[in-house]
Amino acid sequence: MQTLEAVKSLKAQMFVPAHAAATEHIAPLAQYNIDKVWEAADLILELCAEPICFEELLRKLFSSCGLIMTFEQYALVGSTVRSYLAWLKDMGKVEAKFEDNMLLWTRV
């Protein structure tokens, strides 16, 4: 998030993002990405209103986003969701605890 905020203030004649068209104005794209990060975080927090294991959280995220689970998506999206959970935990927005030998995530 700090990087995206910093990108908004960069000045250059042209920016060539990895997954978007080249542009002279990067701030709107950086803000769009910031907004999407918070949107995803809010959805994860919503799904963690009650204790939930990672697999169920991932299943509900896929369903709510209209995605179809494959091994490739499981690995890619699963890794991203784990990063979100670590970030949210570091911010004190979720907590992780073990119950009956299962790791559960809960919104704080």
**SS3 (DSSP) at 78:** helix
**CA angle, corner 83, sides to 54 and 53, nearest 5?**
10
- Please enumerate in sequence order all residues whose Cβ is within 8 A of that of 87, keeping only pairs 6 or more positions apart, or say none: 41
Which pLDDT score is estimated for 103? 97
Instruction: Report the C-alpha gap between 14 and 70 in whole angstroms.
Output: 37
- Residues in the chain where the model's pLDDT stays below 50: none
Which pLDDT score is estimated for 78? 96
Which pLDDT score is estimated for 79? 97
Q: Domain residues for 28? A: 2-107
Structural domains counted in the chain: 1
Which pLDDT score is estimated for 32? 96
Which pLDDT score is estimated for 15? 97
Query: CATH number for the domain including 78?
Result: 1.10.10
